[in-house]
Amino acid sequence: MDFQRARNDDQREQRRRHILEITAGMLTEMPVAQLSLNELSRRVGLAKANVLRYFESREAILLQLLDAELQDWLAELEDALTPVEGTPRERGDRLARVLAESLAERPVLCDLISAQAAVLEHNVSAQVAIEHKKASLRTFQALAQLFLRYLPELGGQDVFRLVGLSILAISAAWPYSSPPDALLAAYASSPALAPLQADFTDLVRQSVEVTISGLLARAENVPLGTGPVQEFPDREHRE
């Protein structure tokens, strides 16, 4: 590809797409933590300063790639989650299984989700953060609508909680189930440690199953991050 200076909006957009494609390819070879702007620039064929003409930072590139990966995953879920008969428990378990299995086939997406809050949302401007959070909100809303069609017994707030808690489960399960070589060696040398060696698909599936069961049983239907106000007796009544 000829990397002469982009002269118009179409050429600039083409350059941005190419940078994203190269980044996506690199993430099939290495985790997010090992992807450097220097190596990306070398593979793209531009000086680092020129890459930064199109994206303000490595994290800004990865956030846009995360948003694109989420959209691809959503399209896949739309096809996989066809309506089925069964009790809420049965449908909830199937939803959890499809969710976990589809994610296990997308390691790049899982790695990006696991790095989102701790790494990717740092070293970006307010404008990039706003654009990313708007895209995240659209993804949350689309997932909530998809889950609600599958589990109409959930309320509008509880299904949003299901989405948020599922994302948290993915974020925690991915690094936990991808241990470094030292831990793998420890597991291999000591069978007693086997219960601590986690499988990503099982972790996500079980987490989402239990979350769905709990939301259905409690039926609180409150916004994500809040809970019903609990009334506690004052000290005089306790005594």
> What is the count of structural domains for the chain?
2
Are 144 and 26 contained in the same domain?
Answer: no
pTM of the entire structure?
Answer: 0.86
Confidence (pLDDT) at 180: 84
Q: Is residue 217 part of a domain?
A: yes
For the segment 119-142, what is each residue's pLDDT rounded down to a tens digit? Answer: 999 999 999 999 999 999 999 999
Quick one: 31 and 147 in the same domain? no
Q: What is the pLDDT of residue 237?
A: 45
The pLDDT assigned to 28 comes to 95
How far is 235 from 200, CA to CA, in rounded Å? 46
Domain range for residue 173?
59-223
Say how many CA atoms lie within 13 Å of 146 toward its Cβ. 21
Residues 66 and 164 in one domain: yes
| CATH code, domain carrying 159 | 1.10.357.10
If asked whether residues 108 and 203 sit together in one domain, one would say: yes
56-85, pLDDT tens digit by residue? 999 999 999 999 999 999 999 988 988 778
Q: Are residues 85 and 113 in the same domain?
A: yes
The HSE-up count of residue 163 (CA atoms within 13 Å, CB side) is 22
Indicate whether 28 and 111 sit together in one domain.
no
pLDDT at position 235, please? 45
Residue with tokens 């290495």: 30
Judged by DSSP in three states, 3 sits in: coil
Phi, psi angles (nearest 5°) of residue 45: 95, 25
> Which amino acid appears at position 233 of this protein?
P
Question: How does pLDDT run across 34-61, given as a tens digit for each residue?
Answer: 999 999 999 999 999 999 999 999 999 9
d(CA 165, CA 173): 12
CATH of the domain at 17: 1.10.10.60
47, 65: one domain: no
